[in-house]
């Protein structure tokens, strides 16, 4: 099988190129903060390569929906990879808090109704103990069909940068990414929706996920279980900033021990 990567090259692609040609990505406070937050909590080397991918048009498609942004990314192989980034959706309690915060401020209501994402919303939510943008590795997860064990791989990192610019253009998509419905946010008395995938994802990605959630048998390193292992690792660490290098080293040891069995 011929692989361009064998020769250190990437197949050229003509996808969605970043508007940003150098420096930081994101024109708005939320777009820029999303990119910067990712850079602060993940492997910076792969993130840099992901930014190059995003600038050179390697991302062929991008879709943004509740809890996730996904796209096809052209790498070294003929078939594009399927990569995605997931943001931990607000749980039911945080959704109620968010609705109360918005209801208490006519300015926030007016801004959201106008399709804007007021920076005051982030500050007001933060003072209520709820973070709008991801703040740690607990709030994000990545996935990709490539064989790179990196977290994230450069393909998923490229998706993050395209997502930051997408949010520049569609600010309220950030609410959807966090599992917040604008209608519920503006009408706190509206009936709650039936539990959906985003709620399940919230539990799945939550630090409350424990090693008990890991199936007792089988290969612990298939795609899903690795996310659980990672969540359990993060949950086991003391509160505060998490060193991504520590997580990756631990995951590497676990992987190698699994392979050795």
Task: State the nearest-atom distance from the C-beta of 215 to Zn ion, in Å.
Answer: 25
Query: Which listed range, 13-21, 139-147, 187-195, 198-206, lies at the site for Zn ion (CB under 5 A)?
Result: 139-147
How many binding residues for Zn ion (CB under 5 A)? 5
- Listed in sequence order, the residues at least 6 apart from 205 whose beta carbon sits closer than 8 Å to its beta carbon are 86, 88, 138, 139, 141, 227, 231
Cβ contact 157:133 at 8 Å:
no
Q: Check residue 46 for interaction with Zn ion (CB under 5 A).
A: no
Query: Which listed range, 137-145, 164-172, 176-184, 243-251, lies at the site for Zn ion (CB under 5 A)?
Result: 137-145
The pairing of beta strand 68-73 with beta strand 81-87: antiparallel
Task: State the nearest-atom distance from the C-beta of 51 to Zn ion, in Å.
Answer: 14
Q: Check residue 155 for interaction with Zn ion (CB under 5 A).
A: yes
CB atoms within 10 A of CB 225: 15
Task: State the nearest-atom distance from the C-beta of 71 to Zn ion, in Å.
Answer: 11
User: What are the C-alpha distances in Å from 145 to residues 63, 82, 127, 165?
Assistant: 16, 5, 39, 23
Query: Which listed range, 86-94, 150-158, 219-227, 234-242, lies at the site for Zn ion (CB under 5 A)?
Result: 150-158
Helical segments of the chain, H only: 29-41, 44-55, 92-103, 106-113, 119-127, 154-169, 173-177, 182-186, 197-205, 223-236, 244-260
- Listed in sequence order, the residues at least 6 apart from 230 whose beta carbon sits closer than 8 Å to its beta carbon are 137, 141, 151, 247, 251
Instruction: Round to whole Å and give the CA distance between 250 and 151.
Output: 13
Task: State the nearest-atom distance from the C-beta of 209 to Zn ion, in Å.
Answer: 23
Query: Which listed range, 21-29, 73-81, 118-126, 194-202, lies at the site for Zn ion (CB under 5 A)?
Result: 73-81
Task: State the nearest-atom distance from the C-beta of 237 to Zn ion, in Å.
Answer: 25
Q: Check residue 59 for interaction with Zn ion (CB under 5 A).
A: no
Task: State the nearest-atom distance from the C-beta of 154 to Zn ion, in Å.
Answer: 7
Q: Check residue 144 for interaction with Zn ion (CB under 5 A).
A: yes
> Is the Cβ of residue 132 or residue 146 nearer to Zn ion in the bound state?
146
Which residues form the interface with Zn ion (CB under 5 A)?
81, 144, 146, 153, 155
């Amino acid at each position: 099988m011929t692989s361009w990567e064998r020769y250190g090259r990437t197949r050229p692609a003509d996808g969605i190129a970043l508007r940003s040609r150098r420096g930081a990505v994101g024109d708005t406070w939320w777009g820029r903060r999303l990119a910067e937050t990712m850079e602060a909590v993940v492997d910076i080397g792969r993130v840099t390569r992901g930014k190059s991918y995003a600038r050179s048009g390697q991302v062929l498609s991008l879709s943004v929906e509740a809890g996730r942004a996904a796209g096809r990314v052209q790498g070294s192989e003929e078939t594009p990879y399927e990569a995605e980034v997931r943001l931990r959706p607000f749980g039911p309690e945080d959704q109620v808090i968010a609705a109360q915060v918005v209801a208490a401020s006519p300015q926030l209501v007016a801004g959201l109704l106008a399709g804007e994402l007021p920076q005051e919303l982030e500050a007001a939510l933060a003072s209520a103990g709820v973070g709008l943008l991801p703040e740690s590795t607990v709030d994000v997860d990545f996935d990709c069909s490539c064989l790179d064990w990196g977290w994230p791989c450069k393909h998923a990192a490229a998706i993050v940068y395209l997502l930051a610019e997408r949010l520049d253009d569609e600010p309220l998509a950030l609410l959807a990414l966090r599992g917040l419905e604008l209608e519920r946010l503006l009408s706190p008395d509206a009936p709650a929706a039936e539990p959906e995938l985003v709620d399940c994802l919230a539990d799945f990605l939550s630090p409350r996920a424990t090693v008990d959630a890991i199936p007792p048998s089988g290969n612990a390193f298939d795609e899903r279980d690795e996310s659980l292992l990672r969540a359990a690792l993060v949950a086991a660490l003391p509160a505060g900033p998490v060193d991504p290098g520590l997580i990756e080293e631990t995951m590497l040891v676990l992987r190698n021990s699994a392979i050795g069995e």
